[in-house]
Amino acid sequence: MVKRKLVVLTGAGMSAESGISTFRDSGGLWEQYPVMQVASHTGWERDPELVNRFYNERRKQLLTCAPNKGHLLLAQMEQDWDVSIITQNVDDLHEKAGSTHVIHLHGELMKVTSSLHPDDPQLIETMDEARWEVQPHERAKDGSLLRPYIVFFEEAVPKISEAAQTTSTADVFVIIGTSLNVYPAAGLIHYAPHGIPIYLIDPKEVATPPDLNVTFIQSGASEGVARLIELLKG
């Protein structure tokens, strides 16, 4: 039997229960660091050592975090659904939970790459517990400065076309833990086929287009995914 297609868009709220610092909420990282200083192309050009230190700290934090129940339940849903996850998060918690098809829109924290050719697969390196820090002036394989494999502000989002195409194949579209304020990711909701069920999981109210068939589950990621599974069974 062919499995139905479930496409899930996740944001910072997906990983908050795992202890990952969010960026935009009160007390988030943007209150501690000027965003354009540590997460923009201009900031990288101005002070690459500061940017690498910032992402070294994020990697160190990630190594202490584990997938939460929401991550694990999404991975388990692959038993009954053809699941694709599109995430705005740069952590690897979906993969650690067992999800097999994950599109990272904004890059991957545990990877580093060339500052000249950041999207060249041959120049992307994966970090781990034994090596999670980029050292000052450390070089990529092509001799350029090693940089985080992160889509900085002021840079294009190379995987947005793949994400839009994947969304267009959905039988059910789910949004978890994102305010739908960050583009181009927020625009993916408009690529969902007309009339399909859309579920939005978030503890806070999120504005959605009035013409879409959106069911709001007001809760955190773990409780919300459990509730989603029950609703899909019904």
The dihedral built from the CA positions of residue 22, 228, 96 and 2, taken in this order, carries a sign that is negative
* Angle subtended at Cα 218 by Cα 216 and Cα 224, rounded to the nearest 5 degrees: 90
| Count of residues making up the chain | 234
Q: Which residues contact 204 (CB under 8 A, 6 or more apart)?
A: 179, 218
Q: Mean of the pLDDT values across residues 112-117?
A: 97
User: What positions carry a catalytic annotation?
Assistant: 106
* Angle subtended at Cα 119 by Cα 141 and Cα 138, rounded to the nearest 5 degrees: 35
Contact 114, 146 (CB under 8 A): yes
- pLDDT of 21 reads 67
Q: Mean of the pLDDT values across residues 178-206?
A: 93
> Worst-scoring range by mean pLDDT, 24-28, 58-62, 68-72, 195-199?
24-28
pLDDT above 50: residue 83: yes
Q: Pairing mode, if any, of strands 82-87 and 5-10?
A: parallel
End-to-end CA distance of the chain: 19
d(CA 72, CA 111): 22
Q: How far is CA 92 from the centre of its chain?
A: 9
Q: Mean of the pLDDT values across residues 200-224?
A: 92
Q: Domains (ranges, CATH) in the chain? A: 1-20+68-106+156-234 (3.40.50.1220), 21-64+112-150 (3.30.1600.10)
Q: Mean of the pLDDT values across residues 28-55?
A: 84
Mean predicted lDDT score pLDDT of the chain: 92
The dihedral built from the CA positions of residue 128, 129, 132 and 135, taken in this order, carries a sign that is negative
